[in-house]
Amino acid sequence: MSPISNDKSRLDGKLAIVTGGGSGIGEATAKTFAEAGATVVVTGRRLEPLQRVADALGGHALACDVSDQAQVRAMFADAQAITGAVDVLVNNAGGPGPIAPVAEVDMGDWVACMNVNLVGAMYCLQEAARIMSAQRSGSIINMSSLMGIQGYPMRSAYVASKFALIGITETMARELGPVGVRVNALMPGAVSGENMDRILARRAEAEGRPVEEIERENYTDVAALKRWVAPEEVGRAALYYASDLSSAITGDKMKVDCGRF
């Protein structure tokens, strides 16, 4: 047998869907999976960045707004048609939501965040559960957050959505375990990139403090490794859950946070 066939980290012959795949963690995960041999489908609302990512890794780009159930169903059907299976779902689409105290937060913005981060995630989970149950195989990775296990000021919508994903992960692991489908959650800490830059800028405005001060106090100095997490590091953790390296692991949650404890 070739070395690759014995490598439990490989995803050869498997199809993986990565939602929110046009940038950041999603893009880095898609690249990691493609390098491990997977056929990768990247999805998101805007086709242009998705196509750029897909072209770079020889994958497929499918536009989909996860908060629209009809679009999610169509996207999963199109993805399944590529190889006849959906072997991995990285449930990564989401946004930071409103940044404001609970007493002042705009509830329209709050609900909009939940519709993407939680309801949209559920639409994807429902389709994946149906397909993978019929296959009697598959791996689902829910992208929660360090804020899925601890509350954080000014971020009630995001925190609520990410806490909920942890509970759904454990629920689905029990539901799908008997048919050989594994469900786990990743909990990234502060990940460097454009999304984090926007959050820092909004916090600085809301709190009237310099970006650098907020960054040190809340993100880098509080981490044991004293630095940001890189998107590629989250992608490698996702590969662990997607591959047979973690074949006995389900209902699990793993921090990828440079040691923020």
Known catalytic residues? 158
Q: Which residues pair with 256 in a beta bridge?
A: 188
With a CB cutoff of 8 Å and minimum separation 6, the contacts of 229 are: 188, 189, 190, 191, 192, 256, 257, 258
Closest CA to 39 of 58, 64, 56: 58
Site of tokens 């809340």: 218
Closest CA to 120 of 155, 94, 158, 148: 94
Question: Which H/E stretch holds residue 114?
Answer: helix 107-114
- Give the DSSP letter of residue 155: B
Pairwise CA distance, residues 174 & 168, whole Å:
10
Pairwise CA distance, residues 203 & 68, whole Å:
29
